[in-house]
Amino acid sequence: MLDIEEPVADVSLVLVVDELDAESLSGALEAVRMAPGLREVPMTIVHQPGVDVGPVLEQTTDVRAAVALPEVELAVMERVLGATTKYACVAVLPRPSKVPAWTRKVVREVNRLEQLPLASDVPLLVWAGSCTRQTVAQYVNQMLARQEVEPGSLLAAYLGRLTLAAANPLLEAVDPQDGDLEVLAFFAAQFVPGMPEPPWRFRIVLTGPSGDVVRSEPIRLTPRIDSHGKVRWEELTTTLSLRTAGNGHSRFIIEVDTEEPLLRLRRNLRPRRGALISARTVHMPVPAAQGSNSGAPVTVRYLLHTTGDGSAAFITSQIGTGWRAKVRWAATLLKKDAGFIFRGRKRRQMRWLRLVRLVTRPFFARRKIWLIGERTDTAQDNGVHLFAHMREVHPERAVYYVIDRSSPQYDRVAKYGNVIAHSSWQHQLLMLHAAVLANAYSIRYLIPASWGAGSYTRHLVWRVGALRVYLKHGVHLSPNSVKRGTTGYDLCLTVMPGETAALRASSGYDEQLVEVGMPRYDALTPTPPSRTLLFMPTWRKYLVTKVLDGAEEGEEPYEGSAYERFMTGFLESRRLHDLLEKYDYRLTFLPHYNMASRFEGASVAGERIQLANADDVTFQDLIRGCDAFITDFSSVHFDVAYVGTPIVYARFDEEDFETKHSSPSWFDYEADGFGPVVRSLDQTLDAVEDLLERGCEPDPFYAARVDAAFASRDQQNCARTVAAIDSHVAQR
């Protein structure tokens, strides 16, 4: 038994103090001084320059140094690596009441490490649950850079245990594969980009009430591209055999792969939203030779779910043959329903909805209901185009469009019929029985307003089991922001090979990507010349987008920004208006949805420059009708190129946009773009003048790029989308 009363030797403490903790510093130091096991341990305090620790330090001799640096993590790492002791422990200053428990953890961990023959060129970091993931990540990076750590060694297992203790391991997705589970996990350790490959290994385990039922082979961490385009060693993939798991409930566990008992550690794999929101009953036929000695056909069924606070992922599985297995599974689900509906008073609305679903299920059993939408108040993008196609080509199908009844765009879609008011009783009822949910922006826009998104995800999604289709609203120029673990789509449309490859490399999606084009492309048929230029810039998430809103954390004022200066300069440009006058053209400006309020009543140079309202005209009509197109970074330029219209890219705030709004893109505007790239107001006006001088005729150089970029340029995008959805529905 480990003795926590005896003072530990050869360990240093580094305490991190922020402004709020400074008030309790004196009490915390007193508690540490009195704690058994940590007497006479050298301490260093690291704090930001604005934190006043002077009065406390004058009253104690226990603190060897106080470091005030803006880069706290850097200062912490310098103290850890420079320690003359064998061990170092970093802690965000505990509250005085928490010090005894924290002290016991420190002593236990030091005593644990003392029993191991660990050889290291730097002090060993002691994990006591109170330092940040960033600290551990920085330490591991330094350790791997300073010495060679052999795979399978005790030191490798120590680092694996340390990182697993600090990380937030997440289950991103599970996919069926011939009776097995393909598991995708995100280690979420915040490792430093460029860190050497980790030499330790993990295993993912399914464990039940009677012990482990399935254990994976040792798994190494593989590179994962984060939302900012940084590559980190934080992805785990493996296969688990459900054929050997049997019937019952199991929990997902991640553990360090080691034979040393003192270094073993297990953690729950917490399910990410994307894993839960795509959960449903999955049926996997297994070849008889693999599944049963009797030769009878076998079906493996499973359901991913969570319980309580969502801190662990569970799977309910069953292996069986024939109708009896089917009935047993139905009984399992009914038992889950009954247990939830009649248990306690919490989550009353979700319990009521589950009951309504059970009672009304017989009336919807044979109907394949599709719910399609965009934002709650719009009908102008891929959603409405797919819906119109379905109503015209497949009027017999139960396909509905969901939109706010008060939306100015309601009448635009009402003419097709089967339009239901968002959050109405009809909308809620159909959501309980939908086979397909398809949206151009996010499936969350289809959730009724009175349903909490979290409760819906946890208590209804898996029971309804609708296919989730992301119709999207443009080509993904920055695919790093799309992650399967947060979005959980069953089907994601792509337009061209470059986009598909970029998403496959960074998103966690693979077979879910279908290169069918976008439904709205079917409406992109050329029109006669209109002598109109269209200006459509995108938005900036780092700017305050609405006039009366104050700046939130991470936002900058709109006024005085490079965006505001360019927009004002362009719209009020006398030279622009004179060019339009000279060549007899007009310019239509359509601001992005998120920036529209900034341009209400905006000043323009003259009557040849007009502001469009998306409620009055569809942007597809504007695109089809323009003779030339000007944008900054909007992916709508792909729509324009699809029609064959010339384009100018005004990238006036390139550095701000690429560092504050987007992540690195697979699309190189200089090498792949469909028109000239300019970076100032004067250059933009020069490019506009060049266009007008040649009557907005396409440049053959850029036209060849357009021809090479698109896999298809036809009016069959809706048909391909429907075929892809039908194929996936049939496989369920």
3-state secondary structure labels for all residues of 19-59? CCHHHHHHHHHHHHHHCCCCCCCCEEEEECCCCCCHHHHCC
The burial class, CB within 10 Å (0-12 / 13-18 / 19+), for 438 is buried
The burial class, CB within 10 Å (0-12 / 13-18 / 19+), for 176 is middle
SS3 717: helix
> What are the residue ranges of helices labelled H in 342-422?
348-364, 382-393, 410-414
Is the full-model pTM beyond 0.85?
A: yes
Widest pairwise Cα distance in the chain: 91
The burial class, CB within 10 Å (0-12 / 13-18 / 19+), for 375 is buried
Dist. CA 668–CA 662, nearest whole Å: 14
> What is the reported pLDDT for 552?
62
> What is the reported pLDDT for 130?
84
CATH topology of domain 358-521: Rossmann fold (3.40.50)
SS3 585: coil
Mark the ranges of the chain whose per-residue pLDDT is less than 50. 1-4, 61-62, 64, 290-292, 548
Does the domain formed by 526-709 have CATH 3.40.50.12580? yes
> What is the reported pLDDT for 462?
92
> What is the reported pLDDT for 100?
84
> What is the reported pLDDT for 1?
39
Amino acid identity of residue 268, one-letter, is N
Do 487 and 274 meet the contact criterion of CB atoms below 8 Å apart?
yes
- The H or E element that residue 419 is part of is strand 419-421
284 closest CA partner among 250, 315, 317: 317
> What is the reported pLDDT for 65?
54
286 closest CA partner among 250, 324, 241, 329: 241
Dist. CA 452–CA 389, nearest whole Å: 31
- The H or E element that residue 126 is part of is strand 124-126
Measured between its terminal Cα atoms, the distance across the chain in Å is: 54
Dist. CA 348–CA 354, nearest whole Å: 10
> What is the reported pLDDT for 76?
84
CATH topology of domain 11-131: Rossmann fold (3.40.50)
The first and second tokens of residue 14, run together, are 């580094």
Residue ranges per domain, the chain? 11-131, 167-323, 358-521, 526-709
Do 376 and 404 meet the contact criterion of CB atoms below 8 Å apart?
yes
